[in-house]
Structure 1
């Protein structure tokens, strides 16, 4: 504004001088006119330079924004006409800076959630390259080093055939796989397409559902047992009452054969009642009262009941558990081991791994068939003539309540190996 006013006054002065004094003082008027032109040129040149400096500052600021540097801001100018543009630039830079901060916080939160999730998450781009995995994916594939950057096809080709078929199937699928510990693991796999930054990607989500299926299976058995127990108890009560009345009548009649009949009925009713109570314990397993386990005391108690050889030192890794429940589990396993191996050559080994504390009980018996191993943990299933099929089912219920695993495997040298895995204290 000041430049326009200055030039306007200068030009008015030049035109006034030329009009009034041009004829009388031509040389002076011409000199004054030339000086005014030079002054006008210098003023315009100075203003143009200033304008270029401001435009250059804006250009550098925009270049910084293009380079994702949102910390840049421009200073206010003396020429107020530029300030609205500078204010708009600074406001845009501040908005972008705040938005990037919010996006960064969201990404950090999403990254933590994904890495803490037990679900395996893998993202593959259109070039068949793995661009993202979480911690669960690294553990599931049990590979050394990061798998990000590897070719997805080559990684899938190195997996088991069941795994390959599930991963190559678009949509959802469920399959079972034997893990490194010999246990059957059920997996749910989802293969879907997603678009990220206008590029097509494949998203793979894998989740082990073994524990959920196991819990559902146990819940179903508990419901069946509860229904059967209820119906049997409803029948046993009147039978027992009538049997007692019959015994009293038989005494008055002095008929020994009736006494034997009613005594036999009463005995079988009592046996059936005890049988129902035994299975009812499976439906009423209490939540473990977890306390630090003192292994020396537990091992000493077990040794007095069922002797065994301790292969290595007792673990120093802290474990929280219900001492009474865990003792019940080991007593049941050791009892079965001694029954399978009359020589009594039973051993226990402790090993601390990434999966937790692994306790292995080995015997030199005849082992188990594949069918028996598959059904050993089911209620009602037993290979013993007088077995109830309750012991190992109760063991599984207790171990799973401790967030652990119970696995059976035949040994190469003969006999059975029972693996109990308990989680370590975080």
Structure 2
């Protein structure tokens, strides 16, 4: 009997020890996402008006999995897997890429910061984009024309390592990313890097960021899929898709007082040619934007923004392209997770740019509202987009 009692007590001790270890190393996994769909009217897509359904307007339609395990000593192991999809068809946003939005694993420490490895957004987007136009006005209609400066979610880096510092100095934080090109014998081919910082103090938010994307191996007449990063292409920058590298620099600030927020942002995007590129001189786009929001009631949020994008003269263009864009948003929240929304945007284009064939193919600039019309630009100088939609977080 004593032997059985000893064995039983030993078993209970082992179970208790196991329970203690499990409690001290707590872990969690969360499934999350958004379903977003809208009825859209566009006055000019290639010369024709259109009425259609479009997914991912106020927020991208996506499903994700994220987890964290407490390792003790202020450290955690974390992961995120996130896939975008089309609500109307069920198709993945990127063919043959299951977790096209994010796919990373890493360590987080309260004192030393975070180290993440995998497919990620750049610090440039995480910091400047967070207080720039697309955090206030949805990227579908509020992103700068064609997302020419990558301040929406169009730039993601594969094969990347990111470091994020702890917050210091009363509200400052910095982050750096390097994306490996992974080309044997030429490790700089296809690589990417980004550096950004932010500072939050009282009602003020400030951010400054930089990112450089290098073309991958293969013919330089287009952006090669072997590059660790890519960027949005549209009628605005199609003539420069054969760049050897693309550099983007941006800064943003905003001020919140009561129910109002006021913000301003500036971005500089440089498309640089290399051997084999279809253009010969660096193409530069400067964009200046202003944004504001007003929380009219606990349920109603109103937002507005204006941006001016200007291409600099180069590559034989004497009257470089200019784009004026106005975007409005009205959102009615039924709950913290569910909302109806209305979006309106209008863009006016002037001047000339390079067409898809590159040097010598000088064409009139055409309107491309936000990044919702990248594949369906106007046939002329103006484009209007109106959306009425529904969004639910889970």
Query: Which has more radius of gyration?
Result: 1
Shared fold by TM > 0.5?
A: no
**Greater share of strand:** 2
Q: Give the TM-score band, short-chain normalised.
A: under 0.3
TM-score scaled by length of structure 1: 0.25
TM-score scaled by length of structure 2: 0.26
Greater relative CO, 1 or 2 (CA 8 Å, sep 6+): 2
